[in-house]
Amino acid sequence: MAFLTLLARNRLALAGGVLMSVVVLLAVLTPVLPLADPDVTNTSNRFQPILSEGALLGTDHLGRDLLSRLMWGTRLSLAVGFAAAIVAATLGAAIGIIAGFYGGRTDNIIMRGVDMLMAFPYILLALAIVAALGPGLFNALIAVAAVNVPFFARNIRGITVGIAHKEFVDAARLAGLSNTRIILSEILPNVIPVIVIAMSTTIGWMILETAGLSFLGLGSQPPQADLGSMLGEARSALITNPHTSIVPGVMILIIVMSINLLGDGVRDALDPRLKSGALSRPMATTQVDRKGPVPEPTGKGLLEVQGLETQFHVKDRVYRAVGGVDLHVEKGECLGIIGESGSGKSVTALSLMGLVASPPGVITGGAVHYDGKDLIGAPYRQLRDMRGRNVAYIFQDPLATLHPLYRVGDQLIEAIRSHRPIGKAEGRAKAVELLRAVRIPNSEQRVTDYPHEMSGGMRQRVGIAMALANDPDIIIADEPTTALDVTVQAQVLTILDDLRRSRGLAIVFITHDFGVVAQLCDRVAVMYAGRIVEEGSTKDILHAPRHPYTARLMACVPELGGGKRRLEAIAGLPPVVDKLPEGCAFADRCLKVQPECRRGEIPLDWQGDRKVRCLYPEQGTREAAE
């Protein structure tokens, strides 16, 4: 159903689909329509023009009714085209799956055969096949199907190879499933969308190829009409009676165009990557479209974020991932940003340096001041110059951020070189020094390692080293320890803490774990549904959370040696950011919700030692609550 709505939202595909349905419907109904016999000749009535009496579309060189021939011809052409596509897709997919699944010699033999077929110009190949089998529509079908098999086989083999080594296939094998069962129940469902996509984009092509063969007289034989043979017969009268060519020509145009439009729509709707726009090339910096006034800097902190708003514009929906965030971080300070998954932490962090992918990301408001300059909307050159040198990032998954084919040392040197030229020896020395700074043992030997030769913790330390490469003032660490186990996490946190003290680094540390915040951060901002709901010093907030969300978030953290205590999961889910409720976004999950909470804007106000966005904040301390 979701597929159909997606398809219907694509206007062109919808138009193609409607047109195609009309053509198919007419073709199916042809035998019951009151049409003249398509094969009855009447030479006294040759070349009647369009709209002549008794022949709506005129007659051809033998006086046959063109409308009737067109309908029967369309029926035949469609049938042959679809049949060829189905045969080619089935055979090609079977070959591709077998080659991809069994691999090794089977794959080699099959694919070399396919390569040989592909080496021929396919029209020549089709001609050769028809020549060998003899002319006729059925043989044309075989020829068209045969020349398209390699295309499907290649495509499907590639996909199958990728799937055949996935863990769920191994699991099926361990469960004792036979190869046939694995192919049918594990592989096939994963390749079917690809088959459908490949088919929907090639059917039009196959109809054209069949028409081409018929045009050359190798397909349908007289008096039987198909679109190609109608064109072929009309060729000699092209100048004197163009309507005999135009009628089948327009029909071919309509069919192929509507199939292609529909096929593109099917592909877009089936391929989630195309749907989200991830395959379109992102712009170098996030698109900026600020409607309101740009806030003036107040000179607070090294980096000051004011009213930052970042949205994702996907089709006609607007996701307000970040809805007006104010932050600042001082030199040598560690600011924690905490919140559930999806609360907008990463998008906030990426917006600072214009790293949110556009499309679909758009920064719609606010300012980010660094050193007196507003970074939002700054020219790409300026941002590029600052990325890594002034503000550096550490991401969650170090395996994904390190290039698998380069040695870690070379990647460190590259990070430096993108900002200043550095010689070979100096670069190496600097790389070793960086690895030592993040306490990688044997750093002289380790610089020549590839990422896969390191453990997860070491890779994350390389990630930190990379962020340090250009001596930045600010490091933004986006859940850098989430993928690590606790002991390694503790080491990484210690390294960051030391670096902050020894180099005066400012750190913005993003996490969903209050335990980590307690260890590292001076100040913490709690985010929910794209906004900050509470901000204050870590000590104060840990001691007495004021916003119910903060309190609930803390209650989710188990405490070692804290005795037995019920761990409270927060019921419900965060709101979807394209349909934010009015008033407090947390209202639906809050135990203390009042009617006023659902009305109007609730401001982030100073309440004693911190800022809270809540009308009825918690009062007691945490210890008292337990």
**Among the listed residues 445, 617, 448, the one whose alpha carbon sits nearest the alpha carbon of residue 545:** 617
Contact between 343 and Mg ion (CB under 5 A)? no
Q: Is 497 helix (H, G, I), strand (E, B) or coil?
A: helix
By beta-carbon proximity to ligand ADP, the closer residue of 317 and 501 is 317
- Out of ligand ADP, Mg ion, none, what residue 342 binds, judged by CB under 5 to 8 A for its kind, is ligand ADP
By beta-carbon proximity to Mg ion, the closer residue of 395 and 586 is 395
Each residue 305-334 as x (binds ligand ADP by CB under 6 A) or -, in order, gives: -------x-x----x-x-------------
Contact between 575 and ligand ADP (CB under 6 A)? no
Structure-token pair, residue 54: 């008794």
- Bridge pairing between strands 523-528 and 531-537: antiparallel
Binders in 577-616 for ligand ADP, by CB under 6 A: 577
Structure-token pair, residue 393: 């990032």
Structure-token pair, residue 617: 């904040």
Contact between 360 and ligand ADP (CB under 6 A)? yes
Structure-token pair, residue 136: 């006729």
Contact between 359 and ligand ADP (CB under 6 A)? no
Give Rg (Cα) of the chain. 33
Q: How far apart are CA 457 and CA 477, in angstroms?
A: 15
Residue nearest to Mg ion (CB): 346
Q: How far apart are CA 360 and CA 341, in angstroms?
A: 20
* Amino acid occupying residue 482: T
* Amino acid occupying residue 417: R
By beta-carbon proximity to ligand ADP, the closer residue of 243 and 345 is 345
- Out of Mg ion, ligand ADP, none, what residue 360 binds, judged by CB under 5 to 8 A for its kind, is ligand ADP
Closest distance of CB 369 from Mg ion, Å: 24
Question: What pairs with residue 531 in β-bridges?
Answer: 528
Closest distance of CB 475 from Mg ion, Å: 16
By beta-carbon proximity to Mg ion, the closer residue of 341 and 382 is 341
Closest distance of CB 337 from ligand ADP, Å: 8
**If binding means CB under 5 A, how many residues of this protein chain bind Mg ion?**
1
By beta-carbon proximity to ligand ADP, the closer residue of 323 and 451 is 323
By beta-carbon proximity to ligand ADP, the closer residue of 135 and 342 is 342
Burial 249-279 (b: 16+ CB within 10 A, else e): bebbebbbebbbbbbbbbbbbbeeeeeebee
Closest distance of CB 525 from ligand ADP, Å: 12
- Out of Mg ion, ligand ADP, none, what residue 106 binds, judged by CB under 5 to 8 A for its kind, is none
- Select from 30, 214, 346, 348 the one that contacts Mg ion (CB under 5 A): 346
Task: Measure the CA dihedral 41/43/49/52, to 10°.
Answer: -70
**Among the listed residues 125, 109, 111, 117, the one whose alpha carbon sits nearest the alpha carbon of residue 156:** 111
CB 135 within 8 A of CB 219: yes
Each residue 302-341 as x (binds Mg ion by CB under 5 A) or -, in order, gives: ----------------------------------------
| Distances, alpha carbon 596 to alpha carbons 160, 457, 509, in Å | 56, 48, 34
Contact between 509 and ligand ADP (CB under 6 A)? no
- Out of ligand ADP, Mg ion, none, what residue 392 binds, judged by CB under 5 to 8 A for its kind, is none
Q: Is 334 helix (H, G, I), strand (E, B) or coil?
A: strand
Closest distance of CB 481 from ligand ADP, Å: 14
CB 512 within 8 A of CB 338: yes
Closest distance of CB 529 from ligand ADP, Å: 8
Binders in 332-351 for ligand ADP, by CB under 6 A: 339, 341-347
Please list the alpha-helical segments (H only) found in 30-136.
66-102, 104-119, 122-133
User: Which positions lie near ligand ADP, rule CB under 6 A?
Assistant: 312, 314, 319, 321, 339, 341-347, 360, 577
**Binding residues for Mg ion, per CB under 5 A?**
346
